[in-house]
Amino acid sequence: MEILTPRPARRSTRLRVEIPVTVTSLDRKHPFSAKCMALVVSPQGCGFRASQSLPLETPVLLNDLPGGGSASARVATCLPLGNDQKFFLIGVALYNQANVWGITNPPEDWNCASNLTAAVAAGADKNANKTPAKSGSAWPYNLFSDQGEAHPGRK
């Protein structure tokens, strides 16, 4: 007899991006430090492409985040990309849920303010009468989306 259970809903929308990050293992038994590319982000964590696998539950530090910040996380998944074992998609869960990615207009279900946005908001009163200049280089990372994923800035 097959038991069907409802598929659990995601806690928040995942955004497909390309954000360079430096990932460092905090476990001496599993040394790793490399510049990687975050491909999918949410306030709970990210998925990044790496040239080496990492065991589940390995604590890592994400450095060189947008705005110069860092965040600690743990490895939640590690999947090979392709059959040649040259690259891996490593999913990490942040210890403290936050928009560490600098997404200025996060989806409503993220339920958190951007760390960068909070810093900008503190100085917003000074620039309240100024009209912001629209620039193609305002967001320094490539965002792309397929069906079912959010477009930041679109309603």
Q: What is the pLDDT of residues 44-101, one digit of tens each?
A: 999 999 999 999 999 999 999 998 899 999 999 999 988 888 899 999 999 999 999 9
User: What are the pLDDT digits (tens) for 105-130?
Assistant: 888 888 765 444 444 443 333 334 43
Could you give the CA distance from residue 136 to residue 124 in angstroms, rounded to a whole number? Answer: 21
pTM for this structure?
0.67
Query: Residue 146: pLDDT above 90?
Result: no
Query: Residue 145: pLDDT above 70?
Result: no
For residue 93, CA distances in Å to 37, 41, 43, 97, 123 come to: 16, 10, 9, 9, 31
Asked whether 18 and 37 are in contact (CB, 8 A), the reply is yes
Asked whether 58 and 96 are in contact (CB, 8 A), the reply is no
* Nearest partner of 72 among 93, 43, 103, judged by Cα: 93
Structural domains present in the chain: 15-94 (2.40.10.220)
> Which residue(s) pair with 119 in the sheet?
none
Q: Can you point out the beta strands (E) in 44-98?
A: 45-50, 59-63, 71-81, 87-94
- The total of other beta-carbon atoms located within 10 Å of residue 54's CB is 21
